[in-house]
Structure 1
Amino acid sequence: MSREIRQLPVPEGLEGLRADAALAKLLGISRTRAADLAEDGDVLIDGQAIGKSERLRAGTWLLVTLPEVEQSLTPVAEHVEGMDILYSDADLVAVNKPVGVAAHPTVGWDGPTVIGGLAAAGFRISTSGPPERKGIVQRLDVGTSGVMVVACSERGYTALKRAFKERTVTKTYHALVQGHPDPFSGTIEAPIGRHPSAGWRFAVTTDGKHAVTHYETIEAFREATLLKVHLETGRTHQIRVHMSAIHHPCCGDPMYGSDPQLAERLGLIRQWLHAVELGFHHPEDGRWMEITAPYPDDLAHALEVLKQ
């Protein structure tokens, strides 16, 4: 089986990062797998193999030989540390997804998943679709925490899939962004597509998909603002891209232009973005439900630093 080779520029946001950490972000793989690639001599800069701990310089080009795809996508039942069950019944289960956990198994990801965590907790997901994505009606990025709902029954799957498609679900996030957006409340309507020169991230592009983000200020601090964000659409990295586009990137998000020094002061090693609430009609009787997820420790700590 042939192995895919990728050529990637090192963006300014990853300047000085270890090779394994940078590759994990660039390729969407686990840091362990990225380290293995470097140790095997499959990561080159200017024709020279680099080690996993080498610090990268912005503007250089990486040549990465990806491993053969032999991974089984069958979910593995395993306990997921910090994944709390917020609500469950015969039709659905809602969890507070921790950072560093994927929604379901994918090629190249060998870390924990929501589906695997639910299996370990004794939940039986009986819906149609591929085995690795049974019950999945929405996703949160690996680097984003918060409330996520999974369908447990065919009725739940059908109703929730339709609700997300027809945008009758309310999706509320809290985001800590740099500076102070002007106006304090507003709407960002700008199409999102893959970045023209860096396909591993997204940007506002003329030929992108329609995307609408509403925001309002919860609390303003000297260096940053805590926002309540309502998504009308659900594009990949939508909040991160839109806030970056108006020059107020999420704190702790170097991929989209955040200040690494501020992130360090706040103790952040990921973007300050949390899915705080989902509202939807229950699949069985149509009653309106709102499920909320508290902040994890790292995000709460960053707010305390700002308040001091």
Structure 2
Amino acid sequence: MKKIDIKEEDLGNRLDLVIGLKYKDLSRNKIQTFIKNGDILVNNLKVKTGHILKDGDLVTAIDLGIKEEIIYKAEKVNLNLDIIYEDDDLLVLNKPKGLVVHPASTYDGITLVNGLLYQVDKLSTINGENRPGIIHRLDKDTSGLLLVAKSDLAHKRLAKQIANHEIDRNYYAICYGTFKESTGTINMPIKRDPKDRLKMAVVKDGREALTNFKVLEQYRNHSLLELSLITGRTHQIRVHLSHIGHPILGDQTYGPRKFYGNTGQYLHAFRLSFKHPITKKFMTFETKMPDEFLEAIKDIS
């Protein structure tokens, strides 16, 4: 049996739809037939095609002729990654905008993983050979601090911290519109958009999602925000701000049809705080606001 990788954004969705998103070479009818015949199992049990995936579900399948999610071995590429801290168990780097974190079925180009393999001698193996060291990720066009595990023990403990919401992540964002309030919390559930399976959306029966925000500056028609994640849903900040009428500048997915610039959303992870998984020391790292932000602020002021 082959294990099928189930991600956080898949939870709360139908099994047949999730399989269809991962393996586009299979028709929905074929997938449903496989499930009905017990060729795709959840926790080693036959389930209905509409089974809703839950945290901890193990999805496996016999050889269905499904293409492997990653069909190549990630190679070493010199990306001159900006590693701002490193020890025997972990590293923290400043990811540039425009760089995908790891390869996937929908992307087989150069990723941050290629750069890690070139610059780092040891990476955790828990997530497989195409995602070595990867504990969490940032969207392609979101820049900023990313935590990477070098040992498997550090990986397990850091992943547990993430699951328990014990790692603090703070972001800068430039968004449309101005605010009456100076601070607030957006508490709106998120799941895959029923109308567009490639996007996430605020949906009543979605998973709990909380984002804190603080208004740092207001301009004519825009605002500079500091945001912190209480939960870590896919595209959470982008979806939340768009839903309340303040989409992020440059966001080509959740922003206005005519978007600003051509480099993607102005979202930067500038602060990362966590407890070292081995030494237990509390650590905080920060980066300065990107030059691109400063240039955009001049433009919108």
Letter in 2 for 1:232: I
**CA distance in structure 1 between the partners assigned to 2:124 and 2:70 by the alignment:** 23
Contact 2:85 2:93 in 1 (8 A): yes
Checking the alignment, whether the CA contact within 8 Å between 1:101 and 1:111 is kept in structure 2 is no
User: 1:209 aligns to what SS in structure 2?
Assistant: coil
1:55 alignment counterpart:
none
**SS where residue 160 of structure 1 aligns?**
helix
Q: Counterpart of 1:200 in 2: which secondary structure?
A: strand
CA deviation digits over 1:36-82, x for unaligned, max 9?
xxxxxxxxxxxxxxxxxxxxxxxxxxxxxxxx77853422211225x
Matches within 5 A, 1:15-164: 72-80=71-79, 83-164=81-162
Q: Is the 8 A contact 1:250 1:258 kept in 2?
A: no
The CA distance in 1 between the partners of 2:127 and 2:120, in whole Å, is 20
> Which residue of the partner structure matches residue 178 of structure 1?
176
Distance 1:234 1:131 in 2: 24
| Partner SS for 2:279 | coil
The 8 Å contact of residues 70 and 103 in structure 2, kept in 1 or not, is answered as: no
Q: Give 2:285's match in structure 1, choosing from 277, 291, 295.
A: 291
Q: Report if aligned partners of 1:80, 1:112 keep a CA contact under 8 Å in 2.
A: no
Corresponding position of 2:60: none
Q: What residue ranges of structure 1 are gaps of 5+ in the alignment?
A: 1-26, 29-67
What aligned pairs does 1:160-239 form with structure 2 within 5 A after superposition? 160-239=158-237
Amino acid at match of 1:303: I
The percentage of aligned residue pairs carrying the same residue is 36
Partner of 1:9: none
SS at match of 1:254: coil
Partner of 1:249: 247
TM normalised by structure 1 equals 0.72
The TM-score, its normalising length taken from structure 2, stands at: 0.73
After the TM superposition, which residues 3-14 of structure 1 pair with which residues of structure 2 at under 5 Å, given as runs? none
Structure 1 residue runs of 4+, over 6 Å off?
none
Deviation at 1:259, TM superposition (A): 6.3
Judge conservation of contact 2:124–2:155 (CA < 8 Å) in 1: no
CA 185–126 in structure 1, closer or farther in 2 if over 3 Å, else same: closer
Q: Deviations over 1:147-189 (max 9, x none)?
A: 0010001221122111101111001011111011232210000
Higher helix share: 1
Instruction: Report the residue type matching 2:105 in the other structure.
Output: V
Deviations 1:198-253 (A, max 9, x none): 11111100111110000001111112100000100001110011001110100111
Letter of the 2:77 partner, please give it: E
- SS of equivalent to 2:253: helix
Residues 252 and 259 in structure 1, CA contact (< 8 A), matched pair in contact too = no
RMSD: 2.1
For 2:110 and 2:180, the matched residues in 1 are separated by 39
Change (3 A) 1:73 1:276: farther
Q: Residue 104 of structure 1: CA displacement?
A: 1.5
Alpha-carbon contact 1:186-1:214 (below 8 Å) kept: yes
Q: Does 1:276 align with 2:270?
A: yes
2: CA distance, partners of 1:216 / 1:268? 26
Q: Which amino acid aligns with 1:219?
A: E
Paired residue total = 237
Distance in 2, matches of 1:163 and 1:198, equals 32
